A and B are shown apart, each in its own frame.
Chain A
């Protein structure tokens, strides 16, 4: 019973364009949401987060949107760069982190 799901295993985007990564969750008790980025042979690194009392949080090229009624989270990267190519995990917290299965983002030059 996966409470956090990333239904797109992969996403391919041209450099300079927008990347949109999506995440759905089922547990309404989650009150904090995060995105982690992972390069091969490395551990996940924190990217951006959002509290359930907000619907948007922005940090440079990265913006996270939260739609609580739809139980949906998205990460926008604008403009996308080849160095953004990685696996992106969303995670939701209610005392402990529950991760999705990740989306592989490839940004082509």
Chain B
């Protein structure tokens, strides 16, 4: 009965490959997010979706493409993986995406690109 779940937890792959990370929330929230925690440990927002619509799209390479088939799922597809994509990726959700909403995070996916 995990609130926000991500799969896989660990992902090791070669440069140039394409990979996907899946995220699901069972909280009934309207808004979902993807964050990247880089080597300097900063958590930076990449995307947010509200009810399947893209709301926030930070300066992220086009190789990253989020897909929201329904409001409970937000998947992240990454094409042509590069060494610099190695990071921990966190999915999160919040009730409505309001500025004072509490965001609930998944456990993270550690991506290692070799």
Contacts and interface: CB of A to CB of B under 8 A. Distances in A.
A97 B90 contact: no
B92 A99 contact: no
A43 B42 contact: no
Contacts of A32: 99-100
A64 B40 CA distance: 25
A42 B105 CA distance: 8
A21 B56 CA distance: 30
Interface of A: 2, 31-32, 34, 36, 41-46, 49, 51, 89, 91, 93-102
Contacts of A45: 104-105
B45 A2 contact: no
A96 B94 CA distance: 12
A47 to B, nearest CB: 10
Interface in B67-95: 90, 92
Contacts of B4: 43
B43 interface: yes
A77 to B, nearest CB: 19
Contacts of B112: none
Interface in B2-37: 4, 35
B90 A96 contact: no
